[in-house]
Structure 1
Amino acid sequence: MLTTRAFKNGNSQAVRIPAAIAYPDMDTELEIERIGDELRLRPVRRDLGDVLSIFASFSEDFMQEGRGSQEQSPRKAL
C-alpha cells in the first residue's frame, strides 16, 4: 500500500498522488466523495442524460444536406 500526506495549498487541503498510481492524463477531471473516513477519487462520469436536450437544441435544418461523400479508400486484403 502506498502512503502520502495531506498538505495545505491556499485555503484547500491537497494530497499528492504517487506516480505509480497517478492518472496518465494530467487534465483528468476527478470526482471526490467522502464515505465515512475515506475519500474516493474517480474520473468524472459523463452522463448521457443531457444528450437529448443537446440534440433538441440543433436547428431543424441541421444536417439537412447529409454528411456528404463518405466513400472509403480501398484496403489491402489480409
Structure 2
Amino acid sequence: MDYAKLSQHGYSQEVRLPKKYRMPGKQVKISRYGRGVLLQPIEEGFEDLFQSLSMFSDDFMNDGRNQQPVQDRGTIFE
C-alpha cells in the first residue's frame, strides 16, 4: 500500500501524491465516501459518460421506462 503526505495551509488541507499517482490538469473532481475521499481527473468531453455506460447490466430497463405519455401543451406564440 502506498501513502500520501498531508499538509495544512490556513484552513485548507493539501494532499501530496506520489509520482506514480499523478493526474493531468490543474484540478481534480473530489467526492467523499464515508470517511474516505476519492480524487478523479477531470475528463474532457463525454469520457465520463461513455465509461459509466459499461456499469449498466445487460438487462437494464428490459421492461421499458414506464413513462407517462407526452402532454399536448400547444405552442407558446399563438
The TM-score normalised by the length of structure 2 is 0.47
Bigger Rg, which one: 1
The TM-score normalised by the length of structure 1 is 0.47
